[in-house]
Structure 1
Amino acid sequence: MNHVGIYRPSVRVGNWREEITLEKEALMEFLQQKDRGELTVQKNSVLKQNLLKPVALSPSPDGLLRFGDTVILINTRRTENPECVLSIVADLSDITTHLETNSKPYLRGPCQVGGASSIQPCVRNAFIITSVDETADGEILRYEQNFALRTTPGFGGELYLATDHKSFQKCAKKSRLQEVTLVKQLDFLCWWRLLYFNPQERLEHEGYPVQVNTKLLVSHCKTNQCLSALSDHTLWTVFGKESEITAHTFLDSHKAERDCNHWMLMTAAPGDEETRR
Structure 2
Amino acid sequence: MATRTYNPAVRVGNWIEDVQLEEDIIKDFQEKKDAGELLIQKTHNVMNNLLRQEKLSAQTENKHLMFGSRINLCHIASGTVLSSKVSELKSRTSSQLKSPCDMSASLMTNPCPRNVFQICSADGEILKKPLCYGQKFVLKTLPGPGGELSLWSDRATFTKCAAKSRLPVVQLHDDSSYNVVWQFHCRNPLIRMEMEGNPVVVGDTIILNHCKTNQNLACMSQYQRRTPYGQEMEVCCKTFLDSHKAETEENLWTIVVNKPE
Q: 1:204 is matched by which residue type in structure 2?
A: E
Give the 3 Å change call, closer, same or farther, for CA 12–32 of structure 1 in structure 2.
farther
Q: Corresponding residue for 1:100? A: none
Q: Deviations over 1:6-58 (max 9, x none)?
A: xx9x9755445434423331232122212321012321221132122111111
Give the 3 Å change call, closer, same or farther, for CA 95–11 of structure 1 in structure 2.
same
Q: 2:84 aligns with which of 75, 88, 104?
A: 88
Task: Kindly indicate whether residue 179 of structure 2 is the aligned counterpart of residue 183 of structure 1.
Answer: no
Give the 3 Å change call, closer, same or farther, for CA 39–11 of structure 1 in structure 2.
farther
Residue 269 of structure 1: how far off its partner (Å): 1.2
Q: 2:151 aligns with which of 143, 161, 166?
A: 161
Q: Corresponding residue for 1:222? A: 212
Q: State how 1:118-133 maps to structure 2 within 5 Å.
A: 118-133=108-123
TM-score, normalised to structure 2, is 0.90
Q: 2:117 is matched by which residue type in structure 1?
A: F
Q: Deviations over 1:42-89 (max 9, x none)?
A: 212211321221111111222001110000000011xxxx31100111
Task: Kindly indicate whether residue 42 of structure 2 is the aligned counterpart of residue 43 of structure 1.
Answer: yes
SS of the residue 1:25 aligns to: helix
Q: Corresponding residue for 2:32? A: 33
Q: What value does the CA root-mean-square deviation take over the aligned residues?
A: 2.4
SS of the residue 1:43 aligns to: helix
Give the 3 Å change call, closer, same or farther, for CA 21–88 of structure 1 in structure 2.
same
* C-alpha distance in 1 between matches for 2:254 and 2:44: 30
TM-score, normalised to structure 1, is 0.85
* Number of residue pairs matched by the alignment: 256
Task: Kindly indicate whether residue 54 of structure 2 is the aligned counterpart of residue 61 of structure 1.
Answer: no
Q: Structure 2: any 5+ residue segments left out of the alignment? A: none
SS of the residue 1:257 aligns to: coil
Q: 1:246 aligns with which of 232, 236, 239?
A: 236
Q: 1:64 is matched by which residue type in structure 2?
A: H
SS of the residue 2:73 aligns to: strand
* C-alpha distance in 2 between matches for 1:203 and 1:254: 17
Q: Which is further off, 146-155 or 49-58?
A: 49-58
* C-alpha distance in 2 between matches for 1:238 and 1:48: 11
* C-alpha distance in 2 between matches for 1:145 and 1:15: 76
Q: 1:24 is matched by which residue type in structure 2?
A: E
Q: 1:67 is matched by which residue type in structure 2?
A: F
Q: Corresponding residue for 2:137? A: 147
Q: Deviations over 1:245-275 (max 9, x none)?
A: 11111112222111111011111113x4xxx
Q: Corresponding residue for 1:21? A: 20
Q: Which is further off, 115-124 or 14-23?
A: 14-23
| Structure 2 contact 39–92 (Cα < 8 Å) conserved | no
* C-alpha distance in 2 between matches for 1:73 and 1:221: 18
Give the 3 Å change call, closer, same or farther, for CA 174–216 of structure 1 in structure 2.
same
Q: Structure 1: any 5+ residue segments left out of the alignment? A: 98-104, 273-277
Give the 3 Å change call, closer, same or farther, for CA 219–14 of structure 1 in structure 2.
same
| Structure 1 contact 232–243 (Cα < 8 Å) conserved | yes
* C-alpha distance in 2 between matches for 1:48 and 1:2: 61
* C-alpha distance in 2 between matches for 1:152 and 1:196: 26
SS of the residue 2:195 aligns to: coil
Residue 94 of structure 1: how far off its partner (Å): 6.0
Q: 2:61 is matched by which residue type in structure 1?
A: P
Give the 3 Å change call, closer, same or farther, for CA 201–28 of structure 1 in structure 2.
same
* C-alpha distance in 1 between matches for 2:67 and 2:175: 19
Q: Corresponding residue for 1:264? A: 254
Aligned-pair identity (%)? 40
Q: Corresponding residue for 1:205? A: 195
Residue 207 of structure 1: how far off its partner (Å): 1.3
| Structure 2 contact 42–92 (Cα < 8 Å) conserved | no
Q: State how 1:100-139 maps to structure 2 within 5 Å.
A: 105-139=95-129
Q: Deviations over 1:100-149 (max 9, x none)?
A: xxxxx432211111111122222211100010124433211011110010
